[in-house]
Amino acid sequence: WAVQVLGGPAEADRVAAEHGYLNLGQIGNLEDYYHFFHSKTFKRSTLSSRGPHTFLRMDPQVKWLQQQEVKRRVKRQVRSDPQALYFNDPIWSNMWYMHCGDKNSRCRSEMNVQAAWRKGYTGKNVVVTILDDGIERNHPDLAPNYDSYASYDVNGNDYDPSPRYDASNENKHGTRCAGEVAASANNSYCIVGIAYNAKIGGIRMLDGDVTDVVEAKSLGIRPNYIDIYSASWGPDDDGKTVDGPGRLAKQAFEYGIKKGRQGLGSIFVW
């Protein structure tokens, strides 16, 4: 449950306890918004939950509440094709989108990445975090640029964003995205990141139920430290799904663009 309670954290704790809830804490940087849990809320149901939640809604300190619904979020993939030059990283020559100037390249949309590098823009002093299913913080191509302070595990409520691997081998998307952004250059390993001198972190939030609370928490991690939040996922691209951020995620976006980066505004990339 997402609940708006006036009066501060102590009052939120009191309201939660009085109605049989557990207060899991403030939702990101959203003042007066808290994540409540009740053991008698059905995890899977087509109907909204009733019972003690009716009394919570009547509490004078509660201005708004919403039962959280699981959102479907699909990881985006980028096509991969061979071609080209430079760096001692073995897969550098296969990074077709970096070699648009090569006559043999299949690239048709120049991003001018190499031109930016020649001008000294390599991501230095920029902090990027990947909102996804986690990142391998000890991966040899990511470890030199990994930033623990730009990382968090929203799914597990701890500070280790490492993916949960199982037989399906599903949770590798975030690590791949992190590599595309900030894989180390000239280390004779794998690829070269677009911003190979940037600091890279990971917010593990896609490996579980994705709700408005989960998205809002993820968008509000250390907004005065993280410069760019990068997400390569979203609702189904099936031509019939119309979906977007909920009330809390919208407020987290607004908070970030107004107050993030010490007032310069957080950058959100989708």
Retrieve residue 46's tokens: 């087509």
Instruction: Write the burial class of residue 72 (CB in 10 Å: 0-12 exposed, 13-18 middle, 19+ buried).
Output: exposed
Please report, in tens digits, the pLDDT of each residue of the chain (270 residues total).
999 999 999 999 999 999 999 999 999 999 999 999 998 765 555 455 555 678 899 999 999 999 999 888 887 765 443 333 469 999 888 888 887 766 666 676 778 888 899 899 999 999 999 999 999 999 999 999 999 999 999 999 999 999 998 888 888 999 999 999 999 999 989 999 999 999 999 999 999 999 999 999 999 999 999 999 999 999 988 889 889 999 999 999 999 999 999 999 999 999
Instruction: Tell me which DSSP letter residue 70 carries.
Output: P
Both 196 and 117 in one domain: the answer is yes
Q: What is the pTM of this model?
A: 0.73
Both 129 and 202 in one domain: the answer is yes
**How many domains would you assign to the chain?**
2
Both 61 and 83 in one domain: the answer is no
Both 100 and 188 in one domain: the answer is yes
Residue range(s) defining the domain that contains residue 27: 2-66
Instruction: Tell me which DSSP letter residue 184 carries.
Output: P
Both 157 and 35 in one domain: the answer is no
Asked if 181 contacts 130 with a C-beta cutoff of 8 angstroms, the reply is yes
Both 36 and 84 in one domain: the answer is no
Asked if 154 contacts 73 with a C-beta cutoff of 8 angstroms, the reply is no
12-26 as b/e, with b when 16 or more CB fall inside 10 Å?
bbbbbeebebebeeb
Both 32 and 88 in one domain: the answer is no
Query: Half-sphere exposure (CA, 13 Å, Cβ side) for 210?
Result: 23
Instruction: Tell me which DSSP letter residue 183 carries.
Output: P
Q: Which residue has the tokens 């081998």?
A: 169
Asked if 152 contacts 214 with a C-beta cutoff of 8 angstroms, the reply is no
Q: The domain that contains 168 carries what CATH number?
A: 3.40.50.200
